[in-house]
């Protein structure tokens, strides 16, 4: 086991970085320092889903009960609907054993729950990273205010524009999907009393709309994906007019129930949807990546945050097996080998899911689209929701050891 004096820096105090801090502390017994560029920990006020595969990790980290108390477990399966609200199929948002279900979370609540598990003394706010460099003593970090520090290893959880990723010699160009999303939350009391407390997705001509409950059903999250050619060479997000959103789903071809939902929205924001091709490497010596820094993906499978949570458990498992600081680069290589294939599949799958929801490409044939969505329902349960990140890492660790001592 690594010495308790081993020092690892985590760059980024978002959901992935905080989960990594919890996992490395509790699973591997490692001293961590979290650097966050913002002046306080927080997230934009929108929703996120904690899926069964991440809930399994969070339970082992002792955080799941708190998250369940803050979130919203739906009444049952969600539904995929066509533009007029006719059922295409249900969405089984649970694992096969029905032990874990999707939990709708208000992002600030999830950040708060994770932050409560991290010693505030190890979180340094207002630190914007300028550069990362491997040196004889470990890894040197330089921040924009001119301060420098050296750590034994560094984990980049600093998002799609990751500075740490440059040190791993990976320079992917973010790819604009041609879509933006309108996002936000609304007070659930504005909805009809019989509004279903489940996730619902309306799929129409080149656009879709999703909603689901949050915060013990006091709030409803909404996400609407629409094509856009607005120039995105400046900001990738900003405030939007609700009327813009309403116009995208107006007319007789859209479900009046959906239009009524949109009429109750008071505020929305827009985001450009970007991802990048799967990376060819995540680690370089004592430097590695986690979450969006490693595998930015479109939101159409709801797995971005959940994969960062899986990353955290896998990384902690490999580091827990390291004997000394010199073993960290090998632990990082093993972590990368195990995680890259899974996240690449989900990155590509998220693109495909978006094409299905918006009836693009071969899915313009709605019969094919609907059939593929029904098939995908069972795939999510088995391949995505039943996945046990800790078990997979432990099994891989056993295989690596057999090869090492053969």
Distance from C-alpha of 156 to C-alpha of 284, rounded to nearest angstrom: 12
Determine whether domain 7-174+276-405 maps to CATH 3.50.50.60: yes
What local confidence, expressed as pLDDT, does residue 235 receive?
Answer: 66
List, by residue number, the catalytic residues. Answer: 212
pLDDT at 124: 97
Q: What pLDDT is recorded for position 404?
A: 65
pLDDT of residue 362: 83
Q: What is the DSSP string of 211-264?
A: EEEEGGGTEEEEEEEEE-----SS-SEEEE-HHHHHHHT-STTS-HHHHHHHHT
Give residue 231's pLDDT.
62
Q: What pLDDT shows up at residue 234?
A: 59
> For residue 46, what are the CA distances in angstroms to 237, 302, 393?
13, 13, 32
Res 372: pLDDT: 86
304-320 helix and 389-405 helix, angle to the nearest 10 degrees: 40
What is the pLDDT at residue 403?
Answer: 67
Q: What is the pTM of this model?
A: 0.96
pLDDT tens digit sequence for 276-308:
999 999 999 999 999 999 999 999 999 999 999
Q: What is the per-residue pLDDT for 405?
A: 57
Give every residue of the chain whose pLDDT is below 70, as ranges. Answer: 231-235, 402-406
Contact criterion met (CB below 8 Å) for 315 and 330: no
What pLDDT score was predicted for residue 316? 98
> What per-residue confidence (pLDDT) applies to 199?
97
CATH 3.50.50.60 positions along the chain are 7-174+276-405
């Amino acid at each position: 086991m690594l010495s308790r004096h081993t020092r690892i820096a985590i760059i980024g105090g978002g959901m992935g970085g905080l989960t990594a801090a919890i996992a490395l502390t509790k699973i591997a017994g490692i001293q961590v320092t979290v650097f966050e560029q913002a002046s306080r920990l927080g997230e934009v006020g929108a929703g996120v889903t904690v899926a069964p595969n991440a809930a399994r990790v969070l339970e082992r980290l002792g955080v799941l009960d708190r998250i369940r108390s803050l979130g919203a477990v739906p009444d049952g399966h969600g539904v995929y609907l066509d533009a007029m609200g006719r059922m295409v199929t249900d969405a089984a948002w649970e694992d096969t054993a029905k032990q874990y279900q999707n939990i709708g979370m208000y992002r600030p609540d999830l950040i708060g729950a994770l932050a409560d598990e991290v010693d505030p003394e190890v979180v340094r706010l207002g630190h914007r990273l300028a550069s990362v460099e491997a040196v004889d003593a470990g890894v040197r970090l330089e921040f924009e205010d001119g301060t420098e520090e050296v750590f034994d290893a560094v984990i980049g959880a600093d998002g799609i524009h990751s500075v740490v990723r440059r040190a791993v010699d990976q320079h992917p160009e973010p790819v604009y999907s041609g879509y933006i999303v309108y996002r936000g939350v609304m007070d659930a009391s504005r909805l009809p009393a019989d509004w279903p407390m489940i996730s619902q997705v309306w799929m129409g001509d080149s656009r879709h709309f999703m909603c689901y409950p949050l915060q013990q059903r006091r709030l409803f999250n909404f996400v609407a994906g629409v094509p856009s050619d607005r120039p995105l060479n400046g900001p990738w997000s900003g405030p939007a007019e609700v009327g813009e959103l309403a116009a995208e789903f107006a007319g007789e071809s859209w479900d009046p129930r959906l239009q009524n939902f949109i009429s109750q929205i008071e505020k929305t924001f827009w985001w450009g949807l970007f991802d990048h091709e799967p990376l060819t490497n995540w680690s370089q010596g004592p430097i590695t990546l986690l979450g969006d820094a490693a595998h930015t993906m479109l939101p159409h499978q709801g797995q971005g945050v959940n994969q960062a949570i899986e990353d955290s458990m896998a990384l902690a498992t490999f580091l827990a097996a390291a004997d000394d600081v010199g073993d960290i680069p090998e632990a990082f290589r093993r972590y990368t080998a195990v995680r890259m294939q899974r996240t690449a599949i989900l990155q590509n799958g998220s693109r495909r899911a978006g094409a299905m929801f918006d009836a693009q490409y071969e899915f313009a044939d709605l019969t094919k689209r609907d059939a593929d969505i029904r098939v995908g329902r069972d795939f999510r349960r088995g391949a995505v929701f039943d996945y046990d990140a800790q078990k997979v890492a432990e099994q891989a660790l056993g295989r690596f050891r057999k090869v090492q001592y053969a």
